[in-house]
């Protein structure tokens, strides 16, 4: 049967549980095992889709249309295994499911309680939809000691008995702070965190200790003694210059070795050559390009986590360092000044009208100065809007998202569309999650387009997360400007990709290509965009 590994966090949040789970999965893959990763979040939202990026960072989207925590992006980037709806759950989703069953009468008149009903629902989520995976790694969100996490901790405690303790391993990620005045690393916070875990009946089997310096042997021995963990299972998790060093560093410190020893598995040594080459390229680039990202969440870069990583992957593919210049879209009056000297401009997805004028100014600057431009989701819609206003001269052109009463609705809420054989419908006042096109959809590309050459295929599948579409009534008029609609839905009713025919590299896509980029399989659009930026850099350099 599958072996289950539960990853919890203690002392403080943001210790990198998701990264630790992802790196361990990557090493186990390199040993020849099949892995699956899951995230259990303790908040009451059904999913993060309605949460501000300032609250929770990026919303990651799966092929089957789940809006999930950004850690699922880490899982996919490190393993290449596409996540599913069944790999992400929240307290809100658990309670919604239990209450639906209660209203249906599924509990036959029983008093519905946290124990056993909520706990059983969590356990069912953890163990369902498992096929032939060797390891299922489950990350528990939050910090041990938080009241919200208690049901999840109780569920994984019970699973230790239900699945047999030999099939379950608990990893606890903690912080070892360095106190400069004392001149030493302190173990007491970790001891207290483990005590919290013990109070709910969980004895961690491995401690993964975050520290900004090497952990002395004496500290490891002390932690092993007071936390009832073998000293060799107190694993150092040092700060890294690149997250993609994690599989190499964790293997070097023996994490995968101790996991295999715990489960009594005799496995071949991992082949980490791919990760070694990725790290080598990151640390030894042969050039650099500067890309401007013009957005409205630039104060919290986690809002653009997948875009940042996609640029890292494209840099690896082009053997260059991609320097990202973050520009606040709300500073519309100085946008053009800030854009001078960049080799490429990207406008990412987003919702609402804040920062729109700054984004439009950036798009116009890219179009008029032949700077490579990449528009994603809202960035594509605004590229269309900028052309309609400034080239076609329809100054009243707008999106109904920004002005519901506009007389020129170039962008609007499409009321219905086909998803395979299913008719999907939108309502303006419907649930926010229910009004979006979510998940993977096919797109047909024109054979003579730049995008088709980039992909090397006439039909692609990409992930979507948006409510509004380009109004097809304007397509012919828009194409007279040279802005071509080179990608459409298979039925031909939803514009997916635009590109300027007379521009070196000007592409807008309605989908989110960043979600499918991997360090070992970079997304072709990001690779091509960085290559175009590099060519512009070399051209400018030669003209000096």
In a domain, 536, yes or no: yes
Of 55, 12, 20, 17, nearest to 144 (Cα)?
12
Contact 533, 343 (CB under 8 A): yes
For residue 232, what is the DSSP state? Answer: G
Contact 339, 327 (CB under 8 A): yes
The pTM of the full predicted model, rounded to 2 decimals, is 0.93
**269 with 324, same domain?**
no
Of 212, 249, 211, 256, nearest to 232 (Cα)?
256
Q: What is the CATH number of the domain that holds 349?
A: 3.40.50.880
Please tell me whether residue 81 adopts helix, strand or coil conformation: coil
Contact 344, 318 (CB under 8 A): no
* Residue 441 CA, distance from chain mean position: 18
**123 with 231, same domain?**
yes
**320 with 208, same domain?**
no
The reply to whether 512 belongs to the active site is yes
Task: Tell me what pLDDT residue 135 has.
Answer: 98
Q: Report the DSSP pairing between strands 184-185 and 178-179.
A: antiparallel
Contact 279, 316 (CB under 8 A): no
In a domain, 422, yes or no: no
The CA distance from 77 to 409, in Å, is: 38
Domain of residue 403, residue span: 286-413+469-542
**383 with 522, same domain?**
yes
**Catalytic member of 313, 466, 512, 523:** 512
Helix (H) or strand (E) holding 484: strand 483-488
**73 with 185, same domain?**
yes
**216 with 269, same domain?**
yes
**Domain stop point among 224, 248, 278:** 278
Task: Tell me what pLDDT residue 259 has.
Answer: 98
In a domain, 391, yes or no: yes
Please tell me whether residue 418 adopts helix, strand or coil conformation: strand
Contact 456, 446 (CB under 8 A): no
Name the token pair of 455.
Answer: 């992909």
Contact 296, 355 (CB under 8 A): yes
Long-range contacts of 534-540 (CB under 8 A, 24+ apart): 534/287, 534/289, 534/318, 534/320, 534/343, 535/504, 536/343, 536/344, 536/370, 536/371, 536/372, 536/504, 537/287, 537/289, 537/343, 540/343
**301 with 163, same domain?**
no
Q: How many domains does the chain have?
A: 2
The strand pairing partners of 487, in sequence order, are 445, 497
Name the token pair of 33.
Answer: 């095992």
Task: Tell me what pLDDT residue 339 has.
Answer: 95
* Residue 418 CA, distance from chain mean position: 27
Name the token pair of 502.
Answer: 């007379």
In a domain, 428, yes or no: no
The reply to whether 514 belongs to the active site is yes
Q: What is the CATH number of the domain that holds 124?
A: 3.40.50.300
**226 with 310, same domain?**
no
User: Which parts of the chain have pLDDT scores under 70?
Assistant: 414-435, 540-544
**55 with 20, same domain?**
yes
**232 with 151, same domain?**
yes
**209 with 354, same domain?**
no
The CA distance from 362 to 370, in Å, is: 12
**Catalytic member of 121, 245, 514, 523:** 514
For residue 50, what is the DSSP state? Answer: G
The strand pairing partners of 38, in sequence order, are 138
Task: Tell me what pLDDT residue 543 has.
Answer: 60
In a domain, 492, yes or no: yes
**Domain stop point among 278, 303, 329:** 278
Long-range contacts of 331-335 (CB under 8 A, 24+ apart): 331/358, 332/357, 332/358, 332/361, 335/294, 335/361, 335/362, 335/365
The CA distance from 540 to 345, in Å, is: 16
In a domain, 108, yes or no: yes
pLDDT in tens, 46-81: 999 888 887 878 999 999 999 999 999 999 999 999
**300 with 265, same domain?**
no
In a domain, 522, yes or no: yes
**Catalytic member of 138, 209, 312, 377:** 377
Instruction: Kindly provide the residue ranges of all beta strands, DSSP E only, lying in 85-225, ordered along the sequence.
Output: 88-90, 135-140, 168-175, 178-179, 184-185, 206-211
The CA distance from 187 to 177, in Å, is: 8
Q: Say whether the peptide bond before residue 116 is cis (omega within 30 degrees of 0).
A: yes
**Domain stop point among 219, 248, 278:** 278
In a domain, 448, yes or no: no
pLDDT in tens, 99-116: 999 999 999 889 999 999
């Amino acid at each position: 049967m599958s072996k289950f590994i539960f990853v919890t966090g203690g002392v403080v949040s943001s210790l990198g549980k998701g990264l630790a789970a992802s790196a361990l999965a990557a090493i186990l893959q390199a040993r020849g095992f099949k892995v699956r990763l899951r995230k259990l979040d303790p908040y009451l939202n059904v999913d993060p889709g309605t949460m501000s990026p300032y609250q929770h960072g990026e919303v990651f989207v799966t092929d089957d249309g789940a809006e999930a925590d950004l850690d699922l992006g880490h899982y996919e980037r490190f393993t290449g295994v596409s996540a599913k709806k069944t790999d992400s759950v929240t307290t809100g989703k658990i309670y919604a499911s239990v209450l639906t069953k209660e209203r249906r009468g599924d509990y036959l008149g029983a008093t519905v309680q946290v124990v056993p009903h909520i706990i059983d629902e969590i356990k069912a989520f953890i163990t369902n939809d498992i096929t032939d995976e060797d390891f299922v790694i489950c990350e528990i969100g939050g910090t041990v000691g938080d009241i919200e996490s208690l049901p999840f901790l109780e569920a994984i405690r019970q699973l230790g008995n239900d699945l047999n303790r030999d099939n379950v391993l608990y990893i606890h990620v903690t912080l070892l702070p360095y106190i400069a005045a004392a001149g030493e690393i302190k173990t007491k916070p970790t001891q207290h965190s483990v005590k919290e875990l013990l109070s709910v009946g969980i004895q961690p089997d491995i401690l993964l200790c975050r520290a900004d310096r090497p952990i002395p042997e004496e500290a490891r021995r002390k932690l092993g003694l007071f936390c009832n963990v073998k000293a060799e299972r107190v694993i150092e998790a040092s700060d890294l210059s690149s997250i993609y060093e994690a599989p190499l560093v964790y293997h070097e410190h023996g994490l995968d070795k101790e996991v295999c020893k715990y489960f009594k598995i005799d496995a071949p040594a991992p082949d980490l050559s791919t990760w070694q080459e990725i790290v080598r390229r990151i640390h030894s680039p042969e050039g650099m390009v500067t890309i401007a990202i013009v957005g409205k969440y630039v104060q919290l870069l986690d809002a653009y986590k997948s875009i940042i990583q996609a640029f890292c992957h494209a840099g690896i593919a082009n053997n260059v360092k991609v320097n990202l210049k973050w520009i606040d879209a709300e500073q519309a009056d100085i946008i053009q000044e800030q854009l001078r000297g960049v080799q490429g401009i990207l406008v990412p997805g987003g919702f609402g009208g804040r920062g729109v004028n700054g984004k439009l100014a950036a798009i116009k600057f890219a179009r008029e100065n032949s700077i490579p431009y990449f528009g994603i989701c809202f960035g594509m819609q605004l590229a269309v809007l900028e052309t309609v206003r400034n080239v076609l001269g329809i100054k009243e052109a707008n999106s109904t998202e920004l002005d519901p009463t506009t007389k020129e609705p170039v962008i609007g809420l499409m009321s219905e569309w086909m998803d395979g054989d299913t008719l999907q419908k939108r309502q303006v006042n419907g649930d926010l999650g229910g009004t979006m096109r979510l998940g993977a959809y096919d797109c047909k590309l024109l054979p003579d387009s730049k995008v088709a050459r980039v992909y090397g295929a006439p039909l692609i599948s990409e992930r979507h997360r948006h409510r509004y579409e380009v109004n097809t009534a304007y397509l012919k008029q828009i194409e007279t400007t040279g802005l071509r609609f080179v990608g459409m839905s298979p039925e031909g009713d939803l514009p997916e990709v635009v590109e300027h025919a007379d521009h070196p590299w000007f592409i807008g896509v309605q989908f989110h290509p960043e979600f499918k980029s991997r360090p070992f399989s970079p997304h072709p659009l990001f690779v091509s965009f960085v290559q175009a930026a590099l060519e512009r850099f070399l051209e400018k350099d030669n003209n000096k």
